[in-house]
Chains A and B, each alone.
Chain A
Amino acid sequence: MAEAYIYDAVRTPRGKGKNTGSLHEITALSLATQALAAIRDRNNLDTSKVDDVVLGCVSPIGEQGGDIARIAVLNAEYSQDTAGVQVDRFCASGLEACNIAAAKVKSGEADFAIGGGVESMSRVPMGAGGGSWATDPTIAFKSYFTPQGVGADMIATKYGFSRDDVDAFAMESQKRAARAWKESRFKKSIVPVKDQLGVTILAHDEHMRPDTTMQSLASLEPSFKAQGEQMPGFDGVLMQRYPEVERINHVHHAGNSSGIVDGASAVLIGTKEAGDAAGMKPRARIVGSASIGSEPGIMLTGPEFVTQKLLKKLGMTTKDIDLWELNEAFASVVLRWMQALELDHDKVNVNGGAIAMGHPLGATGGMILGTMVDELERTGKERALITLCVGAGMGTATVIERV
């Protein structure tokens, strides 16, 4: 089987995901288009060599509906030969898109394929796509459907993370993201978003709050207490699956959960031969990838299990990984992962994460994969593992190696 190499990775800055955010006036199609255009233009890529573009998108409805990947391919004026497909693995859609692109390359189906994703959360709100899990009683009852915020609070309670613990983690995310920006660690990947005139409208992640303090975090009200304890009372649903918890401690709030933002990402993956032919140098190799399902009610513990699964599959241990990246959906998700795998916080999310910079659902996986490519190059380290917790209890992970 062929090896899959990463030749380039780009992402847009993340705009605040509300109608006052800088990217609210930029369509989702435009965000995806600009990421694809950057991949082509930065590499003088002959797009007729790109067999397929796989884009993650979690709310594929409205302007994000109808296979936005192919529409973005056309809008970016790629060769019309290039196909496009949109995929949805909830929060890991972007990473899954890269894994699928890599699989296409490894299997010989594609010489070059692009993975990545797009989500304009300000324009197509989270949940707009519907879905039966929460609404159809047949599945909602038996799987103890509970919104992920309550699940995150359950993780904190069950695994012993206090409000201070999760707030301290959030503080550190802000600090690391601020430092990374200050030291231009994202420079290689960031593609400023242009407006309809072609003028830059956003060049940095605008969700960050580098002045965050423990005091300012302490003043925030828990976000999931009302839906957990009062109407409709999801705590009572989830505690049916976890009777060991006397009551759920609602520790998460806007300051220690991932931000709602807009953005897009794209990662160019290809065979050695395709790269050689195009005169391109590979930056990293995709060593392996995996997905898994775990208990859906608590929902967000998948990363622990998918990490173990992937490492085992690759014959590796945690010692073989130099840098760890887990999407910061909620502080407790990362804290639990580090606790379960006994990871050193110094090697985890070294440049901050979604608590500081935001989580543009379908785009995030491609973004943090790119962050790790950059960081391996910057530090000269070997291997990184990228993973995300995923709706309905799943986890998706990828290991890459600098070449």
Chain B
Amino acid sequence: MENFKLEIDGDGIALITFDVPGRSMNTITGGVVRDIVALANEIKSNDKIKGAVITSGKASGFCAGADLGEMGSGGLAGGGTPKTPKTEEERLKDAFDGAFMLNKTFRELETCGKPVACALEGLALGGGLEIALACHYRVAADNPRIQFGLPESKVGLLPGAGGTQRLPRLIGVQPAAMMILQGQSKSPEEAKALGFINEVVPAGQTVEAAKKWVKANPKAVAPWDVKGYRVKDGPYSPGGAMAFVGGNALVSKQTYGNYPAQKNILSCIYEGVQVPIDAGLRIESRYFVKTMQTPQARGMIRSLFLSMQELSKGGNRPAGHPPTEIKKVAVIGAGLMGAGIAYVQAKAGVETVLIDVSQEAADKGKAYSQRLVDKDVSRGKSTKEKGDALLALITPTTDYAAIKGADLVIEAVFENPELKAEITKKAEAELGENAVFGSNTSTLPITGLAKASSRPANFIGIHFFSPVERMGLVELIVGKETSEATIAKAIDYTLKIKKTPIVVNDSRGFYTSRCFGTYTTEGIEMLSDGIAPAIIENVGRQAGMPMGALEVSDSVGLDTALKIGKQMAEAMGADYKGDARGRLMAWIVEEKGRVGRKAGKGFYDYDENNRPTRIWPELTAQLDIKVTDCPPEMKKELTKRFLFRQCIEVARCFEEGVITDPRDADVGSILAWGFAPYTGGCVSYIDLFWGAAEFVKEADRLAQTYGERFTPPKLLREMAAKNETFYGRFGAKKEKAAA
């Protein structure tokens, strides 16, 4: 047993210390599973052992759950040489056996015939908590920062080691369902109030308390192993149905049925609590396998867990450049973006100079941080001292001399190339040789802006999203001259302010703005096709997008959209009113004066708080709306139009070299513009939900029906012909993680 240490004390209590070698945190690996089987046998068969206490040898906590990397590669299935199954049914049976291994193992521990308690000095998440739940008694240290939870659903999975069975039996169906569906964590006190931690004691005393309990309870068994045990709040118990009826509706409404794990968690509970625990555990393992096999789970694990983790640790940072400690950053332009950037920097302890043309404007920018700090303090999320320290790091000024000594300058002024050029020159006059100049532009090509720079190798695009303090992504845009050292520095900066960086190459709209724009334009295409606006908006949301396409257009500004359309038409020497979409936009902006949310009227009507109240009724009345019914086949088709359109643009970005790493593309699509998270991102949608060949076939059909914008780029055809995936072609090293 390499992962556990076993010592028997004078009372015959075995102290089992969980300590996976060479890791800072315990995770459940194939080896751990094998060790637990041996442990259960040892406890059962060794007469010297009267009972056991399991604890952790790590300061970081008890256990963070299954190793998702290993799980993806099938390593948790108990080892051994995989047989080649003959039929689909055999394959499923094998998968079940693999998944059930964990349940069987924990069950052996639970039924070893001797009392087993768990002493939790630190966090227990996922499989870690499930080990604890399989013990007969749980003692936790009194520290409100300790987290206990089953977060599997956040990556599209379900707890597969008894969590869906033991938790409802311990704390009741409804609270357990909420906890598992939302992946919420609980503090020791909360967990005790809920009923899945038995005792909370001062830190350092959990082992002692657990031993005391073991000594006092030599015959302990799990409550569900007591004869006559029945779940009291099952679906057909008096009053039990409502939790299920309501739970189904709530989850259906919130997920639009896009997340199989969510439905399957409910099924595990619904079916599992009606039968004895052993049958319940089998049911759970079946749903676990079913869920694991969905493209949703595979995509979500890869993008939302593995890739996010990699990118958040600098996984896309060029090698060979020593890390830079970012201490001081100047932000030029104290508008909404600049003010938000100043806040997140100061929050991360970076000395921040906030420059604007007037002291008043600069102060106003700092006041934004004041408001956020006040809010956090009033909500108990921060303290007065911490807030004051944060604010003290921000110096609002008009004086460019204050830039001196900065590691980085970020300009966040209007999207005006001349203005940006002037600022670049003024800032560089104060900057050290190695300092980086970053432009927070969302559309202007970086190579062009870098022309104003005396050292274009140090010039890079640092594209933030609004509101800066809430959006987790930063898009770094590499210009023609931008050096690797500069990229490395910009990544160091992004990680310092606790955001996830993606690296893209220069082009109009870069990666995120360009691809996201296709969602809104497709919505307007649909409207000009005569599809009722309610259908466009509902199908967009139900496809997994955060907002309806028309609502997004309103937020961006219909006049802006029209302007871009005009520019594009001019560039091609065409009349912008030459197509239905152009005419529609010209009509609503120029004739009706509805320019969007900022004016309180666009595709939607808005209330005094600028919240959309309803779709502008005249839209339906005045346009030639032909489609007012949306049966399932049509919904499927419109969903496809929305998702394919964005994915095809992403594929074009790969073809043009705008983006090169599938992880950047996937994580970026979810974090930047909220592309249907259940897919794992745009690339995973192509790779996992379709495969290049099927995707190309379907895209060709869409192009035939709706226009060239759906025509797949050559790259995709080539991939289809060679049966390639994006992760295979562009990230061979990374493919293994989620195959």
Contacts and interface: CB of A to CB of B under 8 A. Distances in A.
A240 B257 contact: yes
Interface residues of A, number: 29
Contacts of B433: none
B252 A141 contact: yes
Given A242-B630, A243-B542, A244-B630, A232 B535 contact: no
Interface stretch (B222-230, B240-248, B352-360, B729-737): B240-248
A237 B534 contact: no
A130 interface: yes
B249 A234 contact: yes
A243 B249 contact: no
Interface of A: 127, 130, 134-138, 140-142, 144-146, 231-237, 239-247
Contact of A135 (B248, B532, B535, B615): B248
Most B CB within 10 A of own CB, among A130, A146, A246: A246
A71 to B, nearest CB: 24
21 contacts: A130-B235, A130-B236, A134-B245, A135-B241, A135-B270, A136-B267, A136-B270, A141-B251, A144-B252, A145-B248, A231-B246, A231-B250, A232-B250, A234-B253, A240-B252, A240-B256, A243-B534, A243-B538, A243-B542, A244-B535, A244-B629
B539 interface: yes
B632 interface: yes
Interface of B: 235-236, 241, 244-254, 256-257, 263-264, 266-267, 270-271, 532-535, 537-539, 542, 614-615, 628-630, 632, 635
B606 to A, nearest CB: 15
Contacts of B537: 246
Contacts of B630: 242-244
A233 B250 contact: yes
B457 to A, nearest CB: 51
Given A134-B245, A243-B539, A243-B542, A237 B263 contact: no
Given A130-B236, A135-B241, A243-B534, A237 B252 contact: yes
Contacts of A127: 241
B539 A237 contact: no
Contacts of A136: 235, 244, 267, 270-271
Given A233-B249, A244-B630, A137 B267 contact: yes
Contacts of A241: 632
A324 to B, nearest CB: 26
B539 A232 contact: no
B245 A135 contact: yes
Given A136-B270, A243-B630, A237 B249 contact: yes
Contacts of B266: 137
B248 A236 contact: no
A127 B239 CA distance: 11
A236 B253 CA distance: 5
Query: Nearest 7 A-B pairs (CB), nearest first?
Result: A236-B253, A243-B538, A246-B534, A232-B249, A137-B266, A135-B244, A140-B248
Given A145-B248, A244-B534, 17 more contacts: A134-B244, A136-B271, A137-B251, A137-B263, A137-B270, A138-B263, A141-B252, A141-B263, A146-B249, A232-B245, A232-B253, A234-B249, A243-B534, A243-B542, A244-B532, A245-B538, A246-B534
A233 B270 CA distance: 20
A242 B628 CA distance: 10
Contacts of A239: 538
Most A CB within 10 A of own CB, among B252, B254, B535, B628: B252
A354 B632 CA distance: 33
Most B CB within 10 A of own CB, among A135, A137, A243, A247: A243
A134 B241 contact: yes
Contacts of A245: 534, 538
A146 B250 CA distance: 11
A137 B632 CA distance: 20
Nearest to A142: B257
A244 B625 CA distance: 12
Given A134-B241, A246-B614, A145 B257 contact: no
Nearest to B244: A135
Given A135-B245, A232-B249, A243 B270 contact: no
A120 to B, nearest CB: 19
A253 to B, nearest CB: 21
A236 B246 contact: no
B241 A141 contact: no
A231 B254 CA distance: 12
Contact of A244 (B249, B254, B628): B628
A130 B242 CA distance: 11
Contacts of A138: 263, 267
B257 A135 contact: no
Given A130-B236, A237-B249, A240-B256, A246 B615 contact: yes
